[in-house]
Structure 1
Amino acid sequence: MAERVSRWQWGWAVAAAVAGALVTVTMLYKLEQGRWMYAASASSFFLTGLVVALPLVMRAAPKAFARCCLIVGLPLVGWSVVGAITGMFVFMPAALLLLIAAFADPRNRPCA
Structure 2
Amino acid sequence: MRGIMSSLEEYLKRKGFQLINEIRKEKVVMDDYEFYIEENSVKLPIPLPTGKESLDDLVSMGIKYARASRISQGLGAPLEYLISGNVVFVIKTFNDRKELEEKLIKALEGIESLRYFL
Instruction: Give the helix-richer structure, 1 or 2.
Output: 1
Report 1 or 2 for greater relative contact order, CA contacts < 8 Å, sequence distance ≥ 6.
Answer: 1
Larger radius of gyration: 1
For Structure 1 versus Structure 2, the TM-score category normalised by the shorter chain is: 0.3 to 0.5
Larger strand percent: 2
TM-score using structure 2 length: 0.33
